[in-house]
Structure 1
Amino acid sequence: GRICCVVGDVCIPRKKGGRHYIMPLHADIQVRARKLGLDCLTPIIWHKIANGATEVAGNGSGFYGKPYQPGSIVKNDIEYILFLRKGGKYRSVSPEKKALSMLTRKEMQAWLRSMWTDIPGASTRDGHPAPYPVELAERLIKLFSFAGDTVLDPFVGTGSTSQAALLAGRNSIGNDIEPAYIKIAYRKLQQLSSQARLIGAVRSTVRCTGF
């Protein structure tokens, strides 16, 4: 099995930590994964449009630090897409599944690059502090699973991963501890599952439990 983890390093502003610094979450996750026996594969850097005001105190000039002097702060506009893999034999997939999961040449060329710059960050209008776009999840699902597989998101939030799985013709299981987010995800999945489509899941069933 594979784990895809979209994670950004956390900027700690001077007001909170006494000095500005970065908590390298992506590196910490990779180190811990290796200790657990997982393989770390080549990551992808996702360059998105971030909100600098939430990271460090800006000065209104479009950058951070003293204007036009050395020592300014580099804006944190990237997140890391980490790929972790369990050991073991490669799975055997039927010819039918392979055919249903084929990617185009254009998709392979664009998606297997080590940096993605064509997907903007998702809106926070649903109230979730760390959303990511459905398109991002759909790419990852198509890259690392086959049609009919089941995708698990243990922190599903407002449901981007489950929506992407539905569009890609995969099953999905999503968990979250916040009932408000689950309700939003459920509503979005109901709306999406009612739409007619030529590709992806032609028929779908959405179930929600626990609230």
Structure 2
Amino acid sequence: MDALTQHGDLIAEALGTTLLIAVLSTVGALVIGVLVTVARISPVPVLRGAAFCYVQYFLNVPLLALLLLAVFALPDAGLVMPLTTTVVVVLGLYEGAYVAEAVRSGVNTVAPGEVEAARALGMGFSQVMRKIVVPQALRAVVQPLGNVLIALLMNTALAATVGVVELTSAANRINNVLAQPIAVYASVGVVYMAMALGLGLMASRVEKRVAILR
């Protein structure tokens, strides 16, 4: 870790950027994922089709290609954003597709009888989704969602390819100065591992707290 402590200020700032991207992208991905899941099971064919196309597109296009497309193509289309904002938007949209798939698997765990009972009580589609289906689906997929968020954290490293100074980018700069790739990247790897283990532990604890006993 000596390679990092020599450049503590740069690492601290870069780590803050990494965490900022991860947190904002996580919020966006969770919101998008839930909305897309609801759209995919809605009674409106257009919404189902649009949600299906969204998921298939982002599941089958590499994140790096999306980042490069956003950074270089959006300005030509007249939409200019700071690089960090662009990364947050693209990462949120990309991981939102994976969140949607995870949540959709959770929807399948909700007993059909509960939905039918809610409809018998006069609840509309939005009420059934908001009060019965989505809460139970989220509780059923805490661990899979945790895995998606860990992948999101790791994918923040791709921000370095478009000029954002996050943890991986800082490691590249430090290695250019010290020329100690093993020490630098191994140390940064430990930092990523610590954050991933922390997310995994948090997901496990949340899962135990909200687990549905059947």
Superposition TM-score, scaled by structure 2 size: 0.23
Relative to its length, the structure with more helix (as a share) is 2
Superposition TM-score, scaled by structure 1 size: 0.23
